[in-house]
Amino acid sequence: MISEQESAADDFAAGNAGEGCDAAPDADAPVNDGIEDGAHGDDAHTEQPAAEPVTVGERLRAAREKQGLELSHIAAETRIPIRHLESIETGDFDALPSRTYAIGFARNYARSVGLNADEVVNEVREELADGRARTSAMSGGMEPGDPAKLPSAGLAWAGGIAAVILAIGSIAFVSTYFGAGDGPPPLALETDADSGNAAAGEANTDQAQASAADAPAQTGGQVVFTALEDGVWVRFYEDGGERLFEAQMESGDSFELPTNAVEPRINTGRPDAFAITIGGREVPKLADEPMTIGDTPVSAEALLARAEDPASQTANN
């Protein structure tokens, strides 16, 4: 009896094991389908490669970002102001002082990020040529909002004052020849004339104040020397011998004269190889040909005085 029960139990266990083995493939089927679907999904979502840089500014920015460098790092290494580096990256070469600066700055930028400097310079020249062609094609008659083609502030004030004087003269003429004997009107005329004169006086005062406010901008600002050739030696120092900067500069290298320097001066044998700006505005070079100069003042006031008096340039040189 016990043997029959054990045999029946063995048969029941064997049956269950067989059913479990048959069911195993069905359980695996959905897993394989999911894996295949996932594989197809990965192929469908493969990312496309990023677009290649088009302009020279984009190439420079891409090279800088690839090395994980900030603009401030490039500015410190090349001594180029950050605002000029941003203009180069965006292709806004018109924001730079001149074509010479655009080429020199781009060359130094390329060297600092490991690009071929000659290729970058050639691309900058091409973009500058394309920009000039587009500007020439678009230029024509007077464009609204073009400051170079609008009347100056002084001319506008002069026109306004002339209009006021003409109006006063017309009122006086009409009152004299058509309003004689009326009594009160001449008093009113005198009042209008006084008001007109007062208005003209206020206009002159405002103009004088505006000119006084503009005076600091014309006589001061950040002085920047930029080398136009390679291997140019120069020394900047204060009156008394305190050295500010001394180096052999390459084309495109620039030096910003400290604004608190006491009577800064320059010593170099190539004054013709430096472009000079004051507050972003170009001023004449210290010389047009190689010559040795020393103890020459280079403050903003001294440089502006030289620009206004060519005779003083010859005397100092």
Per the structure block, which two tokens stand in for 302? 């001294």
Q: Domain 56-134 is of which CATH architecture? A: Orthogonal Bundle (1.10)
Average pLDDT over residues 226-237: 93
Return the closest-CA partner of residue 60 out of 45, 80, 40, 41. 80
> What tens digit of pLDDT does each residue of 154-182 get?
777 888 899 999 899 888 777 776 655 45
pTM for this model (two decimals): 0.35
Looking at the predicted structure, is the pLDDT value of residue 283 above 80?
yes
Domain extents in the chain: 56-134, 150-217, 223-316
- Asked if the model's pLDDT at residue 33 lies above 60, the reply is no
The residue ranking higher by pLDDT, 51 or 211, is 51
Q: Based on the number of CB atoms within 10 Å of its own CB, is 205 exposed (0-12), middle (13-18) or buried (19 or more)?
A: exposed
Beta bridge partners of 235: 246, 267
Which of 31-35, 227-231, 243-247 comes out lowest in average pLDDT? Answer: 31-35
pLDDT one-digit tens code per residue, 41-62 = 444 445 555 566 678 999 999 9
